[in-house]
Amino acid sequence: RVKKNAVLHNVVAYAERLLSDKEKPTDGILFVGVGPACSKAIACTEILKSRHKVSLNQVTRACYKRVEEYWEPMVDNLDRLKVNRDIPAIFLLLSENIIDDKLLGYQSPDDRCRFFNQDPPTNSSDKKTNFGSDASSTNIFKRKPKNNTNSSDQKRNRNQKKKGKSADDDS
């Protein structure tokens, strides 16, 4: 289980030791991340896949963990409040052994190479296939004007406001 405070280097090093141990061979490693630790579990998996010499098969499952919370009212004559929170969770199984490729969420070791070597899909009816290539799509946001006052002017204005003067009352 990967926790949100876990150091990636330590988790990946531990997983590498487990995979390379000849005395106690493991079939696979399961990374579990719940809530804010989901991204850490994914990062650990990707780092381990890139570092490991033997190609790794991956199965990914994502779900939600439902947590019921009850809040007691601080004011009399109110009902207790029930809140359901859905917390995301992810399970990432890495294995050197071949896993059934028909499983939902399966990723073979060569999927990444296959993805990056593909040509981008083309759609002849779509006029905007390359985002940002035409002039009309580049300026969709207004730029906020820069504040030209320097830091010493800002400090002086702040100090004058504290004393009760306005910035225009310089004499």
Place of tokens 């991956």: 58
Nearest Cα to Cα of residue 93 among 60, 63, 64, 62? 60
Question: Helices (DSSP H) in 21-110: which residue ranges?
Answer: 38-51
Q: How far is CA 1 from the centre of its chain?
A: 17
Query: In the prediction, which pLDDT does 22 show?
Result: 81
Query: In the prediction, which pLDDT does 169 show?
Result: 53
Query: In the prediction, which pLDDT does 162 show?
Result: 60
Q: What is the pLDDT of residues 31-55, one digit of tens each?
A: 999 999 999 999 999 999 988 877 8
Q: Go through the domains of the chain in sequence order and give each one's CATH number.
A: 8-70+80-113 (3.30.110.20)
| Contact criterion met (CB below 8 Å) for 62 and 53 | no
Strands 81-95 and 57-71, bridge-based pairing: antiparallel
Kindly report the number of other CB atoms within 10 A of residue 26's CB atom: 13
- Strand-by-strand arrangement of the 28-34 sheet: 28-34, 81-95, 57-71, 106-107
pTM above 0.75, yes or no: no
Name the DSSP class of 142: P
Bigger pLDDT: 26 or 40?
A: 40
> What does the pLDDT average to over 21-39?
90
The lowest-confidence range among 47-56, 99-108, 137-146, 148-157 is 137-146
Query: In the prediction, which pLDDT does 126 show?
Result: 47
Q: What is the pLDDT of residues 39-96, one digit of tens each?
A: 999 999 999 998 887 788 999 999 998 999 999 989 888 899 999 999 999 999 999 8
Residue type, 8: L
Query: In the prediction, which pLDDT does 139 show?
Result: 42
